[in-house]
């Protein structure tokens, strides 16, 4: 589910200097962060037949590196902006494939609404597509901010050690079953099934992290308290469910008409510093072109 209101804006200008440069929220980025961006720019340069270096500036209106998919948003925005700046006219699947090269989850941030990432048969056949449009189901994501700090271990590093967990093979083997349940729940607007499977999937992912070598524990005490509260709320009739990315912050999804109540309850939990509320969002897009 892409989010409306939480955004990354990225601009790309080729021919701006002798080396690629990157600034995120007005802060210069070098090292691995810049290398990941240059890798995508190199793919774009090869496709466009150019050699110019690029100046990239990006801004988020939500915390970066805190488990709110900032990398997914960033590389989706970069794919769209860089390809347009280079004069390319890529299709949505092509943009999704390009974004995926920077971050797997970024492939899902290209299409609109409710999105599925297709595994594909090979490198060129793995991309994301919409399974339902923005207006298919009125859901809201109330993101409970437990920590806005940049996590010490990023998602890329976490993926690299996932195979050291004895639970990872079972998680992967069961992925298609969970995907089918989630897809059907979305298409049928079955919130109870949806909430149960997103919580189950999230718990499985974090179980792998906690049993990896070295173990990764992203949760904080407030994170766990939110889990307990959300399940109690649902048992009492409030349509809510949680999921957690690689970080301590909790995405609490609910039917749109209950978002004000869910936000209010989350803000009352000790350790929650803020709540970001978003509905279902549209596709990644160019918002301004310069000549």
pLDDT digits (tens, 9 = 90+) for 126-143: 999 999 999 999 999 999
The tokens for 54 are 């690029």
Answer positive or negative: Cα dihedral of 75, 32, 49, 18.
positive
pLDDT at 290: 62
249 pLDDT tier (thresholds 50, 70, 90): very high
The tokens for 69 are 């998919």
Q: For residue 192, tell me if it sits in a domain.
A: yes
Q: Has residue 67 got a pLDDT over 80?
A: no
Q: For residue 111, tell me if it sits in a domain.
A: yes
124 and 211, same domain (yes or no): no
9 pLDDT tier (thresholds 50, 70, 90): very high
pLDDT at 122: 83
142 and 130, same domain (yes or no): no
Q: Has residue 291 got a pLDDT over 60?
A: no
Q: What residues have CB less than 8 Å from 238, skipping those under 6 apart?
A: 254, 258, 261, 262
32 and 93, same domain (yes or no): yes
124 pLDDT tier (thresholds 50, 70, 90): confident
144 and 231, same domain (yes or no): yes
Q: For residue 291, tell me if it sits in a domain.
A: no
Q: For residue 178, tell me if it sits in a domain.
A: yes
23 and 75, same domain (yes or no): yes
Last residue of a domain, one of 112, 134, 156: 134
Q: Has residue 191 got a pLDDT over 60?
A: yes
128 and 139, same domain (yes or no): no
Three-state DSSP at 34 gives helix
The tokens for 134 are 């923005």
Strand partners, 255: 139
With residue 144 as reference, give the H or E element that holds it: strand 139-145
Q: Has residue 250 got a pLDDT over 70?
A: yes
Q: For residue 110, tell me if it sits in a domain.
A: yes
Tens of pLDDT, residues 221-239: 999 999 999 999 999 999 9
Q: What is the mean pLDDT of residues 1-18?
A: 89
117 pLDDT tier (thresholds 50, 70, 90): very high
Compute CA 23 distance to the chain's CA centroid, rounded to the nearest angstrom: 20
152 pLDDT tier (thresholds 50, 70, 90): low
Q: Has residue 153 got a pLDDT over 90?
A: no
189 and 235, same domain (yes or no): yes
Q: What is the mean pLDDT of residues 246-250?
A: 91
107 and 159, same domain (yes or no): no
Q: What is the mean pLDDT of residues 85-106?
A: 95
Q: For residue 54, tell me if it sits in a domain.
A: yes
Q: For residue 115, tell me if it sits in a domain.
A: yes
The domain containing residue 81 runs over which residues? 3-134
Q: Has residue 158 got a pLDDT over 70?
A: no
In whole angstroms, what is the distance from residue 76 CA to residue 4 CA? 15
Query: Strands 54-60 and 27-29, how do they pair?
Result: unpaired
CA distances for 224 relative to 12, 193, 228, 272, 290, angstroms: 40, 21, 7, 11, 47
pLDDT at 121: 81
Query: Strands 21-24 and 54-60, how do they pair?
Result: parallel
pLDDT at 6: 85
Last residue of a domain, one of 102, 134, 166: 134
CATH classification of the domain holding 249: 3.30.70.890
Among the listed residues 19, 36, 16, the one whose alpha carbon sits nearest the alpha carbon of residue 79: 36
The tokens for 253 are 């999804």
Last residue of a domain, one of 84, 113, 134: 134
In whole angstroms, what is the distance from residue 198 CA to residue 191 CA? 10
16 pLDDT tier (thresholds 50, 70, 90): low
Number of domains in the chain: 2
Give 69: exposed, middle or buried? Use CB within 10 Å, 0-12, 13-18, 19+.
buried
CATH classification of the domain holding 85: 3.30.230.10
125 and 149, same domain (yes or no): no
Among the listed residues 56, 54, 73, 55, the one whose alpha carbon sits nearest the alpha carbon of residue 64: 73
pLDDT at 101: 94
pLDDT at 159: 74
Q: For residue 116, tell me if it sits in a domain.
A: yes
141 and 119, same domain (yes or no): no
130 and 157, same domain (yes or no): no
Taking all residues of the chain, what is their mean pLDDT, rounded to a whole number?
A: 92
Q: Has residue 90 got a pLDDT over 90?
A: yes
235 and 106, same domain (yes or no): no
């Amino acid at each position: 589910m892409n989010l409306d209101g939480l955004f990354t804006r990225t601009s790309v200008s080729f021919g701006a200097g002798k080396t690629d440069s990157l600034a995120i929220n007005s802060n210069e980025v070098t090292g691995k962060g810049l290398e990941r961006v240059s890798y995508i720019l190199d793919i774009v340069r090869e496709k466009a037949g150019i050699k110019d270096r690029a100046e990239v500036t990006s801004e988020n209106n939500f915390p970066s590196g805190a488990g709110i998919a900032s990398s997914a948003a960033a590389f989706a925005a970069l794919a769209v902006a860089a390809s347009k700046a280079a004069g390319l006219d890529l299709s949505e699947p092509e943009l999704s494939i390009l974004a995926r090269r920077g971050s797997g989850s970024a492939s899902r941030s290209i299409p609109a609404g409710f999105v599925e990432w297709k595994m594909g048969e090979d490198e060129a056949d793995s991309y994301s597509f919409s399974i339902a449009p923005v207006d298919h189901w009125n859901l809201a994501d109330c993101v409970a901010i437990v920590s806005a700090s940049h996590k010490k271990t990023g998602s890329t590093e976490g993926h690299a050690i996932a195979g050291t967990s004895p639970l990872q093979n079972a998680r992967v083997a069961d992925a298609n079953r969970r995907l089918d349940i989630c897809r059907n729940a979305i298409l049928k607007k079955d919130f109870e099934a949806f909430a149960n499977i997103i919580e189950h999937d999230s718990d499985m992912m974090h179980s792998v992290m906690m049993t990896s070598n070295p173990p990764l524990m992203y949760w904080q005490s407030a994170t766990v308290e939110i889990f307990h509260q959300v399940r109690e709320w649902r048992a009492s009739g409030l349509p809510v469910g949680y999921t957690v990315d690689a970080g301590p912050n909790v995405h609490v999804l609910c039917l749109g008409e209950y978002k004000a109540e869910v936000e209010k309850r989350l803000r009352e939990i000790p350790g929650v510093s803020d709540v970001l509320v978003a509905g279902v969002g549209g596709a990644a897009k160019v918002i301004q072109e310069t000549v």
